[in-house]
Amino acid sequence: MHPLLAAAARPCPQLAAIPMALLVLSTGLTGCKGADADPIATPPPTWHEDIRPIVEETCMSCHTEDGGMTGIPLTTYEDYQAWAWPIANAVAAGTMPPWRAESDCNSYKNDFSLSPESVDTLVRWVNADTPEGDASKAAPTRIAWVPPTLARVDAELIMKEAFTPTKAPDDYRCFIMDWDETETTWMTGYNFKPGNTDVVHHVIPFIIPPDEADVYRALDDAEDGDGYPCFGGPGGNIDSLIEARWLGAWAPGGGATVMPEGYGLLIEPGSIMVMQVHYHVDANNTEFDQSSVEIQLEHTPLKTVQIQPWTEVSWVLGMGMEIPANTNDVSHTWSYTFESGAFRIHDATLHMHTMGQTASMVIRHADGSETCVIRHDEYDFNWQRSYQLEQPVEVTVGDTMELTCTWDNPTDQIVQWGDGTGDEMCLGVTMITWE
Interface positions with ligand HEC (CB under 6 A): 22, 55, 58-59, 61-63, 69-70, 72, 83, 86-87, 90-91, 95-98, 112, 114, 252-253
Q: Which of 32, 24, 25 is nearest to 6 (CA)?
A: 32
Q: Report whether 95 contacts 24 (CB < 8 A).
A: no
CB of 27 to ligand HEC, least distance (A): 11
- Residue with smaller CB distance to ligand HEC, 278 or 351: 278
Q: How far apart are CA 100 and CA 80, in angstroms?
A: 23
Intra-chain end-to-end CA distance of the chain, in Å: 46
Q: How far apart are CA 273 and CA 185, in angstroms?
A: 14
Residue nearest to ligand HEC (CB): 253
CB of 80 to ligand HEC, least distance (A): 8
Q: Which helix (H) or strand (E) holds 390?
A: strand 387-395
Q: How far apart are CA 31 and CA 289, in angstroms?
A: 42
- Residue with smaller CB distance to ligand HEC, 31 or 147: 147
Q: How far apart are CA 271 and CA 372, in angstroms?
A: 34
CB of 149 to ligand HEC, least distance (A): 15
CB of 71 to ligand HEC, least distance (A): 6
CB of 93 to ligand HEC, least distance (A): 8
- Residue with smaller CB distance to ligand HEC, 112 or 417: 112
Q: Which residues on neighbouring strands pair with residue 289, listed in sequence order?
A: 163
CB of 58 to ligand HEC, least distance (A): 4
- Residue with smaller CB distance to ligand HEC, 285 or 371: 285
Amino acid at 270: G
What are the contacts of 68-71 at 24+ separation with CB within 8 A?
68/197, 69/194, 69/197, 69/252, 69/253, 70/252, 71/198
- Residue with smaller CB distance to ligand HEC, 93 or 363: 93
CB of 38 to ligand HEC, least distance (A): 25
- Residue with smaller CB distance to ligand HEC, 280 or 365: 280
Q: Which of 143, 70, 156, 376 is nearest to 249 (CA)?
A: 376
* Distant-in-sequence, close-in-space partners of 93: CB < 8 Å, separation ≥ 6: 2, 25, 26, 27
- Residue with smaller CB distance to ligand HEC, 114 or 176: 114
- Residue with smaller CB distance to ligand HEC, 113 or 188: 113
- Residue with smaller CB distance to ligand HEC, 33 or 202: 202
* Distant-in-sequence, close-in-space partners of 241: CB < 8 Å, separation ≥ 6: 233, 234, 316, 419
Q: Tell me the CA distances in angstroms from 200 to 35, 204, 250, 291, one per residue in order.
A: 42, 12, 10, 9
**Residues written for the chain:** 435
CB of 88 to ligand HEC, least distance (A): 9
CB of 115 to ligand HEC, least distance (A): 11
- Residue with smaller CB distance to ligand HEC, 97 or 235: 97
Q: Tell me the CA distances in angstroms from 254 to 4, 87, 192, 263, one per residue in order.
A: 30, 21, 9, 21
Q: How far apart are CA 182 and CA 249, in angstroms?
A: 27
CB of 374 to ligand HEC, least distance (A): 17
Q: Which of 205, 228, 203 is nearest to 216 (CA)?
A: 228
Q: Which helix (H) or strand (E) holds 431?
A: strand 427-433
CB of 132 to ligand HEC, least distance (A): 17
Q: Report whether 250 contacts 388 (CB < 8 A).
A: no
- Residue with smaller CB distance to ligand HEC, 95 or 400: 95
